[in-house]
């Protein structure tokens, strides 16, 4: 795993467990709009699903500083989906989102997944730039995709 340059406050990056759900929920509250925050129950469900892969970065204070949730979509052509990436403001801008994205892509490759998608709020320029910087292409407009009516942008990457 490529660890970002400014990694002093992160002790470890590991696969998420059910017991991480409250910490992931707390992180989501600090970075997402209220309608985008998953309940602890939903996070536990996702982490326990055999088609979901989630990672957490644990800070030196024991809190979760970053998280990614991804899943395998079993359609006629299997693909991966980056469901959520969240990075605490205290470590934001230090490369953690790219690091977690890279690890998810490695996991998908091991499982013979060769195509990954993600959806991003049209107005979320930092997230859009993250995906573009990491080799994803904008490949679709999703009108009124989010609960508040905001449009989304679809991203795809072949790996």
CATH number at residue 66: 3.40.630.30
**pLDDT of the residue at 63:** 93
Is 87 inside any structural domain?
Answer: yes
Looking at the predicted structure, is the pLDDT value of residue 7 above 70?
A: no
Distance CA 2, CA 86 (A): 18
Q: pLDDT tens across 124-143, in order?
A: 999 999 999 999 999 999 99
Is 20 inside any structural domain?
Answer: yes
- Mean pLDDT lowest for which of 104-113, 139-148, 149-158? 139-148
Is 15 inside any structural domain?
Answer: yes
Is 141 inside any structural domain?
Answer: no
Distance CA 76, CA 65 (A): 36
Q: Which residues pair with 56 in a beta bridge?
A: 14, 67
Label residue 93 by pLDDT band (50, 70, 90): confident
**pLDDT of the residue at 148:** 86
Is 135 inside any structural domain?
Answer: no
Is 153 inside any structural domain?
Answer: no
User: Which percentage of the chain shows pLDDT scores above 70?
Assistant: 95
Is 53 inside any structural domain?
Answer: yes
Domain of 109?
A: 10-113
Q: What is the DSSP letter of 62?
A: S
Name the phi and psi angles at 155, rounded to 5: -120, 145
**pLDDT of the residue at 8:** 54
Q: pLDDT tens across 26-83, in order?
A: 999 999 989 899 999 999 999 999 999 999 999 988 999 999 999 998 877 789 999 9
Looking at the predicted structure, is the pLDDT value of residue 2 above 60?
A: no
Number of domains in the chain: 1
Is 159 inside any structural domain?
Answer: no
Q: Which burial class, exposed, middle or buried, applies to 50 when counting CB atoms under 10 A from its CB (0-12, 13-18, 19+)?
A: exposed
Distance CA 46, CA 100 (A): 17
**pLDDT of the residue at 144:** 87
Distance CA 41, CA 131 (A): 28
Tokens of 108: 């998908």
**pLDDT of the residue at 38:** 95
């Amino acid at each position: 795993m490529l660890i970002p340059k400014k990694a002093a406050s992160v002790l470890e990056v590991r696969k998420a467990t059910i017991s991480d759900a409250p910490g992931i929920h707390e992180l989501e509250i600090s970075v997402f709009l209220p309608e985008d925050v998953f309940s602890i129950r939903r996070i536990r469900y996702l982490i326990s699903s055999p088609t979901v892969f989630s990672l957490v970065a644990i800070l030196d204070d024991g809190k979760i500083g970053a998280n990614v949730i991804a899943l395998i979509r079993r359609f006629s052509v299997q693909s991966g989906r980056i469901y959520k990436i969240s990075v605490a403001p205290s470590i934001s801008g230090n490369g953690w989102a790219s690091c977690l994205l890279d690890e998810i892509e490695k996991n998908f490759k091991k499982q013979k997944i060769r195509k990954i998608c993600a959806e991003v709020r049209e107005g979320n320029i930092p997230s859009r730039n993250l995906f573009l910087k990491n080799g994803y292409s904008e490949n679709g407009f999703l009108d009124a995709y989010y609960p508040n009516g905001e449009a989304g942008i679809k991203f795809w990457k072949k790996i």
